[in-house]
Amino acid sequence: MILDATFWVTISFLIFLGVLIYFKIPQKIISTLDQNILNIKNQINEAEKLKEDAKNILTEHEKKISDSKNEVKEMIGKANDEAEKNVLKTHEEFYKVMENRKKAAEERIKQIKNQALKDIKNTSIKIAIESVEKLLKNSLDKSKLDKIYTSSIEETKLALKKKSS
């Protein structure tokens, strides 16, 4: 038999395989790989559970955000309605106050106008009387004044008799 290097490499390889099998190395490798696979599967399952939990939490938070947005919209709507009512109420109150002031001013203007007319009448009567007195004093003597006075009294008596009858 020829004992060359390939023969010895084959023998050493077979001895190496025998030692591996004797110490159950392939089974240990397989069990380690199986253990790693199991760990990886458990981690994947746990990650999927966490993913589902995260989805549920996300859904809950999105619902809360949506509810909050709706509440905010409602609050804004109520605030706008309230503000609009307040503006209308204030406008109405302002209009009433201005209307009352306008009426009071118009009444005051009427009173001032009536007073002015009375003052004008009184002043014009006073001026007329003064003018007549001056005219009479300058143009008539005492005898003419007495005649006018007597005729005026007679006319007044006749006018009063006509009214009483």
What pLDDT is stored for residue 67 in this prediction?
Answer: 93
Q: Are 140 and 148 in contact (CB under 8 A)?
A: yes
**154-161 mean pLDDT:** 77
Q: Measured between alpha carbons, how far is 97 from 89 in angstroms, rounded to an integer?
A: 12
**104-110 mean pLDDT:** 94
Q: Where are the alpha helices (DSSP H) in the chain?
A: 5-22, 25-139, 142-164
* Each residue's pLDDT tens digit, 23-80: 888 899 999 999 999 999 999 999 999 999 999 999 999 999 999 999 999 999 999 9
Q: Measured between alpha carbons, how far is 43 from 163 in angstroms, rounded to an integer?
A: 128
Q: Is the dihedral of CA 153, 155, 158, 164 positive or negative?
A: negative
Burial class (CB in 10 A: 0-12, 13-18, 19+), 26: exposed
Q: Are 145 and 136 in contact (CB under 8 A)?
A: yes
- Which residue did the predictor score with more confidence, 104 or 123? 104
What pLDDT is stored for residue 39 in this prediction?
Answer: 96
**118-129 mean pLDDT:** 81
Domain edges within the chain: 23-157
pLDDT band (50, 70, 90) for residue 109:
very high
pLDDT band (50, 70, 90) for residue 165:
low
Tokens representing 58 are 């996300």
**129-140 mean pLDDT:** 70
